[in-house]
Amino acid sequence: MPSNRVIAVHSSSVFNGLARALFQRAVGGHIATILCAGKRATRLTWGVLIVSNPAKLRNEFLATRGTSGCLEIEARMPSEVKAISPLVDRLIRIIEESHCVSGEEFSVELALREALNNAVLHGNRLDPGKLVHVYCRCELGKGVSVVVKDQGTGFDPDAVPDPLAAENVEAENGRGILLMKSQMDEVSFERAGTEVHMRKRCSQ
């Protein structure tokens, strides 16, 4: 592991094995430096990964926090189209193993890919100095929530033409939003359009 990466893992006296395993998988199974502090028995496990040179960043999972019925993941990626698939593939594997939306993972994958594509191309406009942040929360029996945040100037989602209207049949604008809404139960845009919030409920 490169020396400019530091991983700190804090664990309570009651350690969540699933969260720990998923965190290790998220960062590729490598732990360079471990710092432990068990101050409270809160069934909480979390990790923080620090990269000293963001300009050379590829896909990084910044943190994973887990409790007995909940798993939270944070990740970031550069504004490159080629970085989308590796991040999505790894995150979907974690979601599959959490069993929070069993059978609905493909819908989450489609929506996540589209959200990341919009963030890279339309939000950050492929600017190498900007990053895309992803926040994911998996809750057993409830579902999965995903937030994709770009560092662009934002947009007005209400101003996007309806792609289903007859006059917009050949227009490309709005199709990505339509796709996300067709796959997820809830989709909203926050912070002037720089964040898309999506939720898929558990179907069981």
Give pTM, 2 decimals: 0.72
The two three-digit tokens of residue 147, written as one number:
């937030």
The two three-digit tokens of residue 152, written as one number:
């662009």
pLDDT score recorded for residue 54: 43
**Which domains does the chain carry?**
58-201 (3.30.565.10)
Cβ-based burial of 101 (10 A; exposed 0-12, middle 13-18, buried ≥19): buried
In this prediction, residue 68 has a pLDDT band, given cuts at 50, 70 and 90, of confident
- 76 strand-pairing partners: 60, 133
3-state secondary structure the chain: CCCCEEEEEEECCCCCHHHHHHHHHHCCCCCCCCCCCCCCCCCCEEEEEEECCHHHCCCEEEEEEECCCEEEEEEEEECCHHHHHHHHHHHHHHHHHHCCCCCCHHHHHHHHHHHHHHHHHHHCCCCCCCEEEEEEEEECCCEEEEEEECCCCCCCHHHCCCCCCHHHCCCCCCHHHHHHHHHCCEEEEEHHHCEEEEEEECCC
- 64 strand-pairing partners: 73
Of the listed ranges 13-17, 72-76, 166-170, 186-190, the least confidently predicted one is 13-17
pLDDT in tens, 69-102: 899 999 999 999 999 999 999 999 999 999 999 9
